[in-house]
Structure 1
Protein backbone atom coordinates (compact mmCIF):
# COMPACT_ATOMS: atom_id res chain seq x y z
CA UNK A 1 0.00 0.00 0.00
CA UNK A 2 2.70 2.45 0.93
CA UNK A 3 4.43 1.78 -2.35
CA UNK A 4 1.25 2.68 -4.31
CA UNK A 5 0.70 5.89 -2.31
CA UNK A 6 4.28 6.95 -2.99
CA UNK A 7 3.81 6.36 -6.70
CA UNK A 8 0.62 8.48 -6.76
CA UNK A 9 2.51 11.39 -5.13
CA UNK A 10 5.29 11.03 -7.69
CA UNK A 11 2.68 11.14 -10.46
CA UNK A 12 1.15 14.35 -9.06
CA UNK A 13 4.57 16.00 -8.85
CA UNK A 14 5.43 14.81 -12.35
CA UNK A 15 2.08 16.10 -13.64
CA UNK A 16 2.71 19.57 -12.09
CA UNK A 17 6.22 19.65 -13.52
CA UNK A 18 5.00 18.57 -16.91
CA UNK A 19 2.33 21.31 -16.95
CA UNK A 20 4.92 23.96 -16.00
CA UNK A 21 7.34 22.45 -18.49
CA UNK A 22 4.72 22.70 -21.21
CA UNK A 23 4.32 26.43 -20.56
CA UNK A 24 8.07 26.95 -20.54
CA UNK A 25 8.32 24.84 -23.67
CA UNK A 26 5.67 26.99 -25.38
CA UNK A 27 7.51 30.19 -24.45
CA UNK A 28 10.81 28.74 -25.62
CA UNK A 29 9.34 27.58 -28.90
CA UNK A 30 7.80 31.04 -29.44
CA UNK A 31 11.15 32.69 -28.76
CA UNK A 32 12.92 30.28 -31.08
CA UNK A 33 10.35 30.97 -33.80
CA UNK A 34 10.85 34.74 -33.44
CA UNK A 35 14.62 34.30 -33.46
CA UNK A 36 14.54 32.24 -36.62
CA UNK A 37 12.22 34.74 -38.32
CA UNK A 38 14.52 37.59 -37.24
CA UNK A 39 17.48 35.81 -38.82
CA UNK A 40 15.62 35.37 -42.11
CA UNK A 41 15.02 39.15 -42.38
CA UNK A 42 17.43 41.19 -44.43
CA UNK A 43 19.66 43.67 -42.52
CA UNK A 44 17.67 46.57 -43.96
CA UNK A 45 14.39 45.06 -42.66
CA UNK A 46 15.98 44.35 -39.28
CA UNK A 47 17.10 48.00 -39.02
CA UNK A 48 13.64 49.23 -40.05
CA UNK A 49 12.00 46.98 -37.44
CA UNK A 50 14.38 48.21 -34.72
CA UNK A 51 13.70 51.85 -35.63
CA UNK A 52 9.94 51.23 -35.72
CA UNK A 53 10.06 49.49 -32.33
CA UNK A 54 12.06 52.36 -30.80
CA UNK A 55 9.66 54.90 -32.26
CA UNK A 56 6.73 52.96 -30.85
CA UNK A 57 8.34 52.77 -27.40
CA UNK A 58 9.20 56.47 -27.42
CA UNK A 59 5.71 57.39 -28.61
CA UNK A 60 4.01 55.26 -25.94
CA UNK A 61 6.35 56.56 -23.23
CA UNK A 62 5.82 60.15 -24.33
CA UNK A 63 2.07 59.75 -24.48
CA UNK A 64 2.06 58.14 -21.04
CA UNK A 65 4.12 61.00 -19.62
CA UNK A 66 1.88 63.55 -21.32
CA UNK A 67 -1.23 61.85 -19.92
CA UNK A 68 0.21 61.88 -16.40
CA UNK A 69 1.17 65.55 -16.83
CA UNK A 70 -2.33 66.49 -18.01
CA UNK A 71 -3.94 64.61 -15.11
CA UNK A 72 -1.66 66.37 -12.62
CA UNK A 73 -2.36 69.73 -14.23
CA UNK A 74 -6.13 69.27 -14.11
CA UNK A 75 -5.90 68.06 -10.52
CA UNK A 76 -3.87 71.14 -9.59
CA UNK A 77 -6.38 73.44 -11.32
CA UNK A 78 -9.27 71.76 -9.52
CA UNK A 79 -7.46 72.15 -6.20
CA UNK A 80 -6.73 75.82 -6.86
CA UNK A 81 -10.36 76.35 -7.85
CA UNK A 82 -11.53 74.82 -4.59
CA UNK A 83 -9.10 76.97 -2.61
CA UNK A 84 -10.33 80.09 -4.44
CA UNK A 85 -13.94 79.11 -3.70
CA UNK A 86 -13.08 78.56 -0.04
CA UNK A 87 -11.49 81.99 0.33
CA UNK A 88 -14.31 83.63 -1.62
CA UNK A 89 -16.88 82.03 0.67
CA UNK A 90 -14.87 83.05 3.71
CA UNK A 91 -14.71 86.63 2.45
CA UNK A 92 -18.46 86.64 1.82
CA UNK A 93 -19.32 85.33 5.30
CA UNK A 94 -19.52 88.81 6.76
CA UNK A 95 -21.85 89.87 3.94
CA UNK A 96 -24.16 86.97 4.65
CA UNK A 97 -24.33 87.86 8.35
CA UNK A 98 -24.92 91.53 7.53
CA UNK A 99 -27.73 90.68 5.14
CA UNK A 100 -29.37 88.58 7.83
CA UNK A 101 -28.96 91.43 10.31
CA UNK A 102 -30.40 93.92 7.81
CA UNK A 103 -33.41 91.66 7.25
CA UNK A 104 -33.98 91.45 11.00
CA UNK A 105 -33.76 95.22 11.45
CA UNK A 106 -36.09 95.81 8.49
CA UNK A 107 -38.69 93.67 10.22
CA UNK A 108 -38.42 95.84 13.30
CA UNK A 109 -36.49 93.37 15.42
CA UNK A 110 -34.17 94.98 17.94
CA UNK A 111 -30.51 94.14 17.46
CA UNK A 112 -28.37 93.72 20.53
CA UNK A 113 -25.75 96.49 20.94
CA UNK A 114 -22.88 93.98 21.05
CA UNK A 115 -24.07 92.50 17.76
CA UNK A 116 -24.22 95.93 16.11
CA UNK A 117 -20.70 96.78 17.32
CA UNK A 118 -19.35 93.44 16.17
CA UNK A 119 -20.97 93.95 12.77
CA UNK A 120 -19.45 97.42 12.43
CA UNK A 121 -16.02 96.10 13.37
CA UNK A 122 -16.21 93.21 10.90
CA UNK A 123 -17.30 95.61 8.14
CA UNK A 124 -14.23 97.72 8.93
CA UNK A 125 -11.90 94.76 8.53
CA UNK A 126 -11.48 93.77 12.17
CA UNK A 127 -11.68 90.01 12.66
CA UNK A 128 -11.91 88.10 15.94
CA UNK A 129 -12.99 91.11 17.99
CA UNK A 130 -14.14 90.41 21.52
CA UNK A 131 -17.34 92.34 22.16
CA UNK A 132 -19.31 92.12 25.40
CA UNK A 133 -22.40 94.09 26.40
CA UNK A 134 -22.27 95.24 30.03
CA UNK A 135 -25.48 97.00 30.97
CA UNK A 136 -25.83 100.07 28.76
CA UNK A 137 -22.21 100.04 27.62
CA UNK A 138 -20.27 97.74 25.35
CA UNK A 139 -16.71 96.64 26.00
CA UNK A 140 -14.59 95.68 23.01
CA UNK A 141 -11.08 94.43 22.45
CA UNK A 142 -9.23 93.58 19.23
CA UNK A 143 -5.80 93.42 17.58
CA UNK A 144 -4.84 94.58 14.10
CA UNK A 145 -1.54 95.37 12.39
CA UNK A 146 -2.86 98.25 10.28
CA UNK A 147 -3.32 101.71 11.76
CA UNK A 148 -5.64 102.60 8.89
CA UNK A 149 -7.99 99.71 9.67
CA UNK A 150 -8.03 100.56 13.37
CA UNK A 151 -8.74 104.25 12.78
CA UNK A 152 -11.45 103.40 10.22
CA UNK A 153 -13.13 101.04 12.68
CA UNK A 154 -13.06 103.58 15.49
CA UNK A 155 -14.33 106.42 13.28
CA UNK A 156 -17.20 104.24 12.01
CA UNK A 157 -18.19 103.50 15.58
CA UNK A 158 -18.29 107.21 16.40
CA UNK A 159 -20.19 107.98 13.15
CA UNK A 160 -22.84 105.45 14.13
CA UNK A 161 -23.44 107.34 17.37
CA UNK A 162 -21.25 105.38 19.75
CA UNK A 163 -19.42 107.47 22.37
CA UNK A 164 -16.11 106.33 23.82
CA UNK A 165 -16.06 106.43 27.60
CA UNK A 166 -12.72 104.64 27.82
CA UNK A 167 -10.11 103.95 25.11
CA UNK A 168 -6.69 102.30 25.41
CA UNK A 169 -4.43 101.59 22.44
CA UNK A 170 -1.00 99.93 22.55
CA UNK A 171 1.35 98.93 19.73
CA UNK A 172 3.64 95.94 20.04
CA UNK A 173 7.16 96.97 19.01
CA UNK A 174 8.05 93.61 17.48
CA UNK A 175 4.92 92.73 15.51
CA UNK A 176 3.64 96.32 15.12
CA UNK A 177 0.20 94.99 16.03
CA UNK A 178 -2.14 97.49 17.64
CA UNK A 179 -4.21 96.34 20.61
CA UNK A 180 -7.39 98.32 21.23
CA UNK A 181 -9.51 98.10 24.37
CA UNK A 182 -12.52 100.40 24.66
CA UNK A 183 -15.78 100.93 26.45
CA UNK A 184 -18.51 102.64 24.45
CA UNK A 185 -22.09 103.72 24.99
CA UNK A 186 -24.80 104.62 22.51
Structure 2
Protein backbone atom coordinates (compact mmCIF):
# COMPACT_ATOMS: atom_id res chain seq x y z
CA UNK A 1 0.00 0.00 0.00
CA UNK A 2 2.88 2.36 0.59
CA UNK A 3 3.99 1.96 -3.04
CA UNK A 4 0.63 2.99 -4.54
CA UNK A 5 0.99 6.75 -3.80
CA UNK A 6 4.56 6.70 -5.14
CA UNK A 7 3.48 4.95 -8.36
CA UNK A 8 0.55 7.35 -8.84
CA UNK A 9 2.84 10.32 -8.22
CA UNK A 10 5.31 9.07 -10.86
CA UNK A 11 2.49 8.53 -13.36
CA UNK A 12 1.20 12.04 -12.71
CA UNK A 13 4.68 13.50 -13.27
CA UNK A 14 5.03 11.56 -16.53
CA UNK A 15 1.69 12.88 -17.77
CA UNK A 16 2.65 16.46 -16.92
CA UNK A 17 6.14 16.40 -18.46
CA UNK A 18 5.32 14.29 -21.53
CA UNK A 19 2.26 15.65 -23.34
CA UNK A 20 0.46 13.64 -25.98
CA UNK A 21 2.16 13.16 -29.32
CA UNK A 22 -0.56 15.09 -31.14
CA UNK A 23 0.41 18.71 -30.47
CA UNK A 24 -1.53 21.13 -32.66
CA UNK A 25 0.81 23.46 -34.48
CA UNK A 26 -1.91 25.09 -36.55
CA UNK A 27 -1.25 28.58 -37.88
CA UNK A 28 -3.13 31.27 -35.92
CA UNK A 29 -4.50 32.76 -39.14
CA UNK A 30 -5.99 30.23 -41.53
CA UNK A 31 -7.88 32.73 -43.72
CA UNK A 32 -6.47 34.19 -46.93
CA UNK A 33 -7.37 37.78 -47.74
CA UNK A 34 -6.53 39.95 -50.75
CA UNK A 35 -4.87 43.13 -49.46
CA UNK A 36 -5.67 46.35 -51.36
CA UNK A 37 -3.68 49.57 -50.74
CA UNK A 38 -5.17 52.92 -51.72
CA UNK A 39 -2.60 55.25 -53.30
CA UNK A 40 -2.63 58.53 -55.19
CA UNK A 41 -1.39 59.06 -58.73
CA UNK A 42 2.19 59.34 -57.41
CA UNK A 43 2.06 56.04 -55.51
CA UNK A 44 1.78 57.60 -52.05
CA UNK A 45 -0.64 56.15 -49.52
CA UNK A 46 -3.64 58.32 -48.69
CA UNK A 47 -6.91 58.19 -46.77
CA UNK A 48 -10.15 58.61 -48.64
CA UNK A 49 -12.40 61.53 -47.81
CA UNK A 50 -15.45 59.57 -48.98
CA UNK A 51 -17.04 56.67 -47.18
CA UNK A 52 -16.71 53.40 -49.09
CA UNK A 53 -19.02 50.41 -49.14
CA UNK A 54 -17.68 47.20 -50.69
CA UNK A 55 -19.93 44.38 -51.85
CA UNK A 56 -18.41 41.03 -52.83
CA UNK A 57 -20.10 39.13 -55.65
CA UNK A 58 -19.67 35.66 -57.11
CA UNK A 59 -21.64 33.47 -59.51
CA UNK A 60 -23.01 30.12 -58.44
CA UNK A 61 -24.96 27.41 -60.23
CA UNK A 62 -28.02 26.48 -58.20
CA UNK A 63 -30.03 23.34 -58.94
CA UNK A 64 -33.79 23.94 -58.91
CA UNK A 65 -36.28 21.06 -59.10
CA UNK A 66 -39.51 21.45 -61.05
CA UNK A 67 -42.43 19.18 -60.18
CA UNK A 68 -43.96 17.67 -63.31
CA UNK A 69 -47.63 16.74 -63.73
CA UNK A 70 -46.89 13.06 -63.10
CA UNK A 71 -45.31 13.95 -59.70
CA UNK A 72 -41.69 13.40 -60.76
CA UNK A 73 -38.97 15.98 -60.29
CA UNK A 74 -36.92 17.50 -63.09
CA UNK A 75 -33.69 19.28 -62.10
CA UNK A 76 -32.53 22.39 -63.90
CA UNK A 77 -29.51 24.57 -63.22
CA UNK A 78 -29.96 28.29 -62.67
CA UNK A 79 -27.07 30.76 -62.74
CA UNK A 80 -27.25 32.97 -59.66
CA UNK A 81 -25.35 36.02 -58.44
CA UNK A 82 -24.50 35.90 -54.74
CA UNK A 83 -23.73 39.24 -53.07
CA UNK A 84 -22.53 40.10 -49.57
CA UNK A 85 -21.60 43.44 -48.02
CA UNK A 86 -17.99 43.13 -46.84
CA UNK A 87 -17.29 46.74 -45.84
CA UNK A 88 -20.12 49.09 -44.87
CA UNK A 89 -19.44 52.83 -45.07
CA UNK A 90 -15.77 52.81 -44.07
CA UNK A 91 -14.53 56.37 -43.63
CA UNK A 92 -10.90 57.45 -44.03
CA UNK A 93 -9.65 54.08 -45.23
CA UNK A 94 -6.07 53.54 -46.44
CA UNK A 95 -6.39 49.83 -47.27
CA UNK A 96 -8.78 46.89 -47.35
CA UNK A 97 -8.46 43.15 -46.73
CA UNK A 98 -11.11 41.27 -48.69
CA UNK A 99 -11.82 37.53 -49.03
CA UNK A 100 -11.93 35.79 -52.40
CA UNK A 101 -14.53 33.21 -53.37
CA UNK A 102 -13.89 29.50 -53.94
CA UNK A 103 -14.96 29.97 -57.57
CA UNK A 104 -12.41 30.98 -60.17
CA UNK A 105 -13.48 34.62 -60.15
CA UNK A 106 -14.52 37.22 -57.59
CA UNK A 107 -16.03 40.63 -58.15
CA UNK A 108 -16.01 43.60 -55.79
CA UNK A 109 -18.28 46.64 -56.17
CA UNK A 110 -16.85 49.78 -54.53
CA UNK A 111 -19.56 52.38 -53.83
CA UNK A 112 -18.31 55.85 -52.90
CA UNK A 113 -20.46 58.13 -50.76
CA UNK A 114 -19.46 61.77 -50.48
CA UNK A 115 -20.59 64.43 -48.03
CA UNK A 116 -21.09 66.93 -50.86
CA UNK A 117 -23.23 64.61 -52.99
CA UNK A 118 -25.71 61.95 -51.98
CA UNK A 119 -24.08 59.28 -54.17
CA UNK A 120 -20.65 59.85 -55.66
CA UNK A 121 -20.03 56.81 -57.86
CA UNK A 122 -19.30 53.14 -58.15
CA UNK A 123 -16.42 51.01 -59.47
CA UNK A 124 -16.29 47.28 -60.10
CA UNK A 125 -13.11 45.20 -59.72
CA UNK A 126 -13.13 41.70 -61.23
CA UNK A 127 -10.40 39.26 -60.20
CA UNK A 128 -9.77 35.90 -61.84
CA UNK A 129 -7.73 33.48 -59.76
CA UNK A 130 -6.57 29.90 -59.39
CA UNK A 131 -7.53 28.25 -56.12
CA UNK A 132 -4.79 26.30 -54.34
CA UNK A 133 -5.97 24.11 -51.42
CA UNK A 134 -3.32 23.86 -48.72
CA UNK A 135 -3.18 21.30 -45.90
CA UNK A 136 -0.83 22.23 -43.09
CA UNK A 137 -1.55 19.37 -40.73
CA UNK A 138 -4.22 16.69 -40.45
CA UNK A 139 -5.33 18.19 -37.13
CA UNK A 140 -5.74 21.65 -38.67
CA UNK A 141 -8.44 22.78 -41.04
CA UNK A 142 -7.57 23.17 -44.71
CA UNK A 143 -6.67 26.59 -46.09
CA UNK A 144 -7.31 28.06 -49.51
CA UNK A 145 -4.52 30.03 -51.16
CA UNK A 146 -4.95 31.89 -54.45
CA UNK A 147 -2.91 32.86 -57.47
CA UNK A 148 -4.27 35.91 -59.28
CA UNK A 149 -4.37 35.34 -63.05
CA UNK A 150 -6.04 38.58 -64.09
CA UNK A 151 -7.79 41.71 -62.90
CA UNK A 152 -10.04 44.27 -64.60
CA UNK A 153 -11.82 47.32 -63.27
CA UNK A 154 -14.08 50.17 -64.23
CA UNK A 155 -12.71 53.70 -64.06
CA UNK A 156 -15.44 55.94 -62.65
CA UNK A 157 -13.54 57.09 -59.57
CA UNK A 158 -10.51 54.83 -59.55
CA UNK A 159 -7.75 55.62 -62.01
CA UNK A 160 -6.02 52.25 -62.34
CA UNK A 161 -5.28 49.00 -60.53
CA UNK A 162 -2.03 47.02 -60.41
CA UNK A 163 -1.14 43.59 -59.06
CA UNK A 164 1.84 43.91 -56.71
CA UNK A 165 1.87 40.27 -55.55
CA UNK A 166 -0.27 37.65 -57.35
CA UNK A 167 0.11 35.05 -54.58
CA UNK A 168 -2.52 35.40 -51.86
CA UNK A 169 -2.01 33.32 -48.73
CA UNK A 170 -2.50 33.73 -44.99
CA UNK A 171 0.45 36.14 -44.67
CA UNK A 172 -0.61 39.77 -44.57
CA UNK A 173 1.06 41.45 -47.53
CA UNK A 174 0.01 43.88 -50.23
CA UNK A 175 -1.49 42.22 -53.31
CA UNK A 176 -3.07 45.15 -55.18
CA UNK A 177 -2.61 48.91 -55.47
CA UNK A 178 -5.66 50.97 -56.33
CA UNK A 179 -4.66 54.31 -57.85
CA UNK A 180 -6.88 57.37 -57.46
CA UNK A 181 -6.30 60.79 -58.97
CA UNK A 182 -6.07 63.09 -55.98
CA UNK A 183 -6.15 66.87 -56.24
CA UNK A 184 -3.48 68.40 -53.99
CA UNK A 185 -4.97 70.60 -51.31
CA UNK A 186 -3.31 73.74 -49.99
CA UNK A 187 -1.96 73.15 -46.51
Higher-strand-fraction structure: 2
Normalised by the length of structure 1, the TM-score is: 0.23
Normalised by the length of structure 2, the TM-score is: 0.23
Structure ID, larger Rg: 1
Higher-helix-fraction structure: 1
Larger RCO (CA within 8 A; separation ≥ 6): 2
